[in-house]
A and B are shown apart, each in its own frame.
Chain A
Amino acid sequence: GQQLNQSPQSMFIQEGEDVSMNCTSSSIFNTWLWYKQDPGEGPVLLIALYKAGELTSNGRLTAQFGITRKDSFLNISASIPSDVGIYFCAGRQSIGVGGADGLTFGKGTHLIIQP
C-alpha cells in the first residue's frame, strides 16, 4: 500500500530558528495536507496544497507541493514556543485509495523547542 515517509521524526531546535520537514512517497498524490497536533487535542489543518509546484504560506508557515507530486515540505520560520507539537503530513490520491478517508498519513515530526 501507499506509504509516506516523513522526516525528521523529531527536531530539537532553539527558539527563533527556522524549521524544515518533509514527506516523500513512491506514489503520486493529488493533494497534500499539513496538520499540527498539540498534546491531548485533535490535528488542526495548517495548509492544503492541490497543485504540483504550488507554494502556499500561512503566517510563518510555508508548504510546497513537489513538482513530481511525490513529495511535500513544510517550513516554519522564526520558531516560537507555541510551535511545539507534532506535525503530520497527509496525502490524498483519490477517495477510497489509501485509507477509506482517502488519506495516507505520515508518522509525524515531533518539534521540540529548547529554551
Chain B
Amino acid sequence: GAVVSQHPSWVICKSGTSVKIECRSLDFQATTMFWYRQFPKQSLMLMATSNEGSKATYEQGVEKDKFLINHASLTLSTLTVTSAHPEDSSFYICSAMQGRNSPLHFGNGTRLTVT
C-alpha cells in the first residue's frame, strides 16, 4: 500500500513554456501533499505544501506565481512550472502521508529539462 505515482517521469520543454507535473496517491487519500526540488547529489529541498481544497503554502524563497500548485482532490496534486527557464531544470519530487504521523511516501520524481 501507500503508493504515490508521479507523471511524467521526465519532460523536456522550451524556455518560456509551462509544464504540469501530476502527483497521485493511488491507494489512499491525502489531504496534504508536498513538493520538493532536488539538485544533483543533494538532499531534498521542500518547496511547498499542497492542501486539498485550499491554497498551497510555500517555503521561503519559492515563487508561488512561478510554481503553481493545485490540489483539486484527495488523490491528486499538480505542480505547474510557469514560463520555464533553464535554471528551473531540476528533479521535482512529490510526497504524501497516509495519516498524521505516518511516514512520507514519495513519487518517482520528474526530471525537467528546459532548453
Q: Does B85 contact A (CB under 8 A)?
A: no
Contact B49–A100 (Cβ < 8 Å): yes
Contact B93–A43 (Cβ < 8 Å): yes
Main secondary structure of the interface of B (DSSP, over half): strand
Of the residues A40, A41, A86, A101, contact of B104 by C-beta under 8 Å: A101
What is the minimal beta-carbon distance from B102 to any residue of chain A, in angstroms? 8
Instruction: Place the interface of chain A in its size category.
Output: 20 to 34
Q: Which residue of B lies closest to A100 (CB)?
A: B49
Contact B109–A42 (Cβ < 8 Å): yes
Of the residues A40, A90, A95, A106, contact of B100 by C-beta under 8 Å: A95
When distances are taken between beta carbons in the complex, the residues of chain A under 8 Å from B111 are 40
Binding site for B on A (CB under 8 A): 30-31, 33, 35, 40-45, 48, 86, 88, 90, 92, 95, 99-101, 103, 105-108, 110
